[in-house]
């Protein structure tokens, strides 16, 4: 196992237990704290007997340090949630990390390129909302998303940016997450959310991956705007980036040219139907139209968000298949080549072996094992 991964996991365990370097150094029998510091900095390897002792101290198996299907200490997550239980979220993060680690490990064995290529965007907390929307449009053009970006965004993020996208059943209160690794980035989307919400969350998490170095997001974000000034600014920039990405200027101009927005009460219906065509929410389209000068500020009183939400927006007419074909193909290959057993994959995904067969069928793949 890579010595780098081992030291990351040791550090993660220490942080999880809220132990100081001095406390852990004493427990491991080191003469001083500097020995542990050298290990965590990669200047000294953790010996096997020391690893066994560390496993005993933290109550984990020795395989915690050597399992390639483990991400502890490596990935940085940012969760978009509303009132999610902290302990449940911690456990789910560990589970999601194992999915990402499994994909990375099997991809490397298969010879795939495991290196997300994200374009740098010139955005900071001092950028304007117009700048953020323009960057969103530019990313959409680079990815060739076409006139209805929401329809192709997930596929393009995976194929063009080598970023893993997983549509998953999450713990209660979670709508999405971004995960950054040194070589691989991932986006997690609650597949039970309405299409418009899934599209928005995907664009929002992409913004965080693109700006992680200049505006690192908090590990846990609220779906409502935060109170802190800088954090609030980042989330507003993310919203405008998502608007530009999902509703580019050319698309809005074509929409308006083909069907001019009516006046009065009929406007709400026009926004609802137009939003459905674009795969976005009615409220999101309302604000985009306002910012582009298509509708006026004086019209907002007659356009409350609850009126603009389409009845189809809250339903799951097209529930995505679990995870993604790219992910499921990787584990299928791993089973077929003997790198991992079907039983271990089922355990990894917390499903039965029979359900694993159904998962392959969801993506049009044959079952790589005999039941």
Q: What is the pTM of this model?
A: 0.90
What pLDDT is stored for residue 316 in this prediction?
Answer: 46
The model's pLDDT over 152-177, given as tens digits with 9 standing for 90+, comes to: 999 999 999 999 999 999 999 999 99
Q: Render the burial of 342-366: b for 16+ CB within 10 Å, e for the rest.
A: beebbebbeeeeeebbebbeebeee
Contact 187, 177 (CB under 8 A): yes
Contact 271, 308 (CB under 8 A): yes
What pLDDT is stored for residue 258 in this prediction?
Answer: 93
Tokens of residue 60, six digits: 């984990």
The residue extents of the domains of the chain are 3-66, 249-314
* CATH class assigned to 3-66: mainly alpha
CA–CA dist 106, 332 (Å, integer): 10
Contact 356, 342 (CB under 8 A): yes
User: Which residues, 6 or more positions from 21, have their beta carbon under 8 angstroms from its beta carbon?
Assistant: 14, 33, 36, 37, 40
Q: Render the burial of 23-58: b for 16+ CB within 10 Å, e for the rest.
A: ebbebbebeeeebbeebbeeeeebeeebbeebbebb
For helices 282-291 and 229-246, angle between their N-to-C axes, nearest 10 degrees: 90
Residues in the chain with pLDDT values less than 70: 1, 224-227, 310-317, 371
337: phi then psi, degrees, rounded to nearest 5: -90, 0
Look at residues 321, 320, 341, 317 and name the one whose alpha carbon lies nearest to residue 331: 341
Contact 211, 121 (CB under 8 A): yes
Look at residues 162, 161, 136, 130 and name the one whose alpha carbon lies nearest to residue 150: 136
Backbone CA torsion sign across 141, 142, 146, 148: negative
What pLDDT is stored for residue 327 in this prediction?
Answer: 97
What pLDDT is stored for residue 118 in this prediction?
Answer: 78
């Amino acid at each position: 196992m890579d010595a780098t991964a081992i030291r990351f996991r040791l550090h993660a365990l220490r942080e999880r237990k809220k132990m100081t370097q001095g406390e852990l150094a004493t427990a491991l029998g080191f003469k001083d704290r500097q020995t542990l510091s050298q290990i965590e900095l990669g200047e000294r390897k953790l010996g096997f007997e020391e690893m066994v002792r560390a496993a005993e101290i933290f109550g984990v198996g020795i395989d915690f340090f050597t399992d390639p299907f483990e991400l502890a200490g490596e990935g940085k997550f940012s969760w978009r949630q509303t009132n999610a239980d902290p302990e449940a979220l911690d456990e789910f993060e560990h589970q999601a990390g194992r999915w990402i680690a499994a994909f990375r490990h099997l991809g490397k064995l298969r010879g795939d390129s495991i290196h997300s290529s994200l374009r740098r965007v010139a955005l900071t907390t001092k950028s304007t909302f117009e700048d953020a929307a323009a960057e969103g449009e530019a990313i959409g053009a680079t990815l060739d998303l076409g006139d209805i970006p929401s329809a192709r965004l997930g596929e393009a993020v995976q194929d063009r940016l080598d970023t893993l996208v997983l549509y998953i059943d999450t713990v209660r209160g979670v709508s999405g997450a971004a995960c950054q690794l040194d070589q691989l980035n991932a986006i997690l989307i609650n597949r039970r959310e309405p299409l418009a919400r899934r599209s928005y969350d995907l664009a929002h998490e992409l913004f965080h991956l693109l700006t992680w170095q200049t505006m690192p997001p908090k590990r846990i974000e609220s779906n409502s705007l935060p109170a802190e000034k800088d954090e609030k600014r980042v989330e507003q920039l993310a919203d405008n980036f998502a608007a530009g990405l999902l509703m580019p200027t050319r698309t809005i101009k074509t929409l308006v040219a083909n069907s001019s927005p009516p006046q009065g009460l009929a406007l709400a219906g026009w926004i609802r139907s137009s939003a459905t065509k674009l795969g976005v929410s009615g409220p999101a389209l309302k604000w985009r139209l306002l910012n582009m000068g298509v509708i006026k500020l004086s019209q907002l009183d007659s356009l409350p968000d609850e009126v603009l939400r389409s009845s189809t927006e809250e339903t799951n007419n097209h529930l995505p298949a679990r995870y993604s074909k790219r992910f499921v193909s990787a584990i299928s290959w791993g089973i077929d080549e003997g790198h991992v057993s079907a039983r271990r994959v089922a355990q990894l995904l917390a499903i039965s072996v029979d359900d694993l067969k159904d998962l392959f069928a969801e993506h049009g793949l044959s079952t790589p094992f005999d039941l």
